[in-house]
Structure 1
């Protein structure tokens, strides 16, 4: 049992403005995507292996629709790697110390970068790749094998490789379950913040096998110049 004394910092919550609405998938996507085409994220990334601290790295991440992601990594303020991924194919890889950061042999490096980048992209632009749909309760194959379920608290969108949980009252992303050929990845989204009128989760907890990754967003910029 743990006890906590003192006052915990208050986390602002988005208003429950959608709680009385019965939305289609098309309406949900139109609501959440707004006019956001690109994001710049400054974040700290903590990596645990077997429940023990493994490594820490800072990152500057640029994301642009569709399927474009550029990452610069820093260790103690010193550049530690840079890569660009388009359509989740690695087109540029200035590895430097990335191999040590991600752990493991270089033969597996490209696969890890591609996989991690796809999770990252889908955490910010989760609706990308989903077809518009009029699915409501438990309607299967209504559009491209997408199934959308709803209960009192959540919308749950299921595809062949993802399960997306949205808060019904705020449409904020709560959780994703991603299935690959050899593993299952769980991502939790916590500590919502707002930039302009765009709500996002400032803490992501990614778990896969014996690894856990904690990505904390320190700053977020909407539609920045990609040359920044």
Structure 2
């Protein structure tokens, strides 16, 4: 059998030529064995009809096996020549012939270095795609967060609108001026509260000092 893998032929035929030849060889060999069994049966019948025949079945089987071995040796030689002819002329694709699906290689030939450069470019594009996909995911998350913030702002605006309507109902015409005035008064109120707190702390400290002096004055000698 041929040791050439013949991968291109296998791509075209859908099977390896060596496998095809092996199946043909096995089929011929099985047929040869069957023929020899038929021949042996015919010989036994013929000899059984002859008067005074002393040839046993074992001798006939031994002679049949020798003849089968002789035929098989010649068959192997003939099959070897047939295999060489079929693999070279029938099941062989010439080196200058391209399959239809490989015509693109003839139109766009490239070297090993060009192929490696193409692989590197594909790898870079894949990395860029993954980076852009991650950035897109982060952008979508930010947009979702902005939607939440926008919803909160809309609630605040609705609250201000309600408050402004309430001010109008109570005779306050300009809500923005009223809100500014309220903010200023709130700030002044906070300042007054801080001043009161400081004065309260000063008074508490003064009372504490006076109480300490009075205890020292009444202390017995």
Q: Same fold (TM over 0.5)?
A: no
Give the helix-richer structure, 1 or 2.
2
Q: Report the TM-score when normalising by structure 2.
A: 0.19
- Structure with a larger share of its residues in strand: 1
